């Protein structure tokens, strides 16, 4: 008899956890403020600077003749367009 109550309690507990997880479904493991960085007007973006913890940096700058990487290399427009669409978000 004691084992039946234990199994019933475990079933109720697991059902509750499954219900809570299904109700609080999210596409990300990050909090909302950390993922809410969309840029509404990407035509006004003139510079994209990215750095990692090891000190490696990437600096994309918009010039009259296109985008430049670290001031040395010209960047292909399709890749920049993809990055800007990502920044724009799906709003």
pTM of the predicted model, to two decimals? 0.55
Binned average pLDDT, 10 residues per bin, the chain of 91 residues: 88 90 70 67 88 93 93 92 79 48
The total of structural domains in the chain comes to 1
State the Cα–Cα distance between residues 71 and 63, nearest whole angstrom.
Answer: 10
What pLDDT is recorded for position 32?
A: 63
How far is 90 from 67, CA to CA, in rounded Å?
A: 24
Q: Is 72 helix (H, G, I), strand (E, B) or coil?
A: coil
Domain that holds residue 61: 2-88
Percentage of the chain beyond pLDDT 70 is: 81
pLDDT of residue 74: 94
pLDDT in tens, 17-43: 888 877 877 666 666 665 567 777 888
User: DSSP assignment of 19-71, as one string?
Assistant: HHHHHT--S-SS-HHHH----S-GGG--EEEEE-TTS-EEEEEEETTEEEETT
């Amino acid at each position: 008899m004691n084992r039946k109550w234990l199994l019933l309690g475990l079933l109720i507990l697991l059902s509750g956890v499954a219900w809570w997880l299904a109700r609080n479904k999210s596409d990300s493991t990050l909090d909302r403020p950390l993922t809410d960085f969309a840029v509404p007007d990407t035509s006004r973006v003139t510079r994209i600077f990215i750095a990692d913890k090891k000190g490696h940096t990437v600096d994309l700058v918009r010039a009259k003749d296109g985008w430049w990487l670290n001031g040395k290399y010209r960047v292909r427009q399709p890749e920049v367009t993809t990055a800007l669409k990502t920044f724009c978000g799906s709003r």
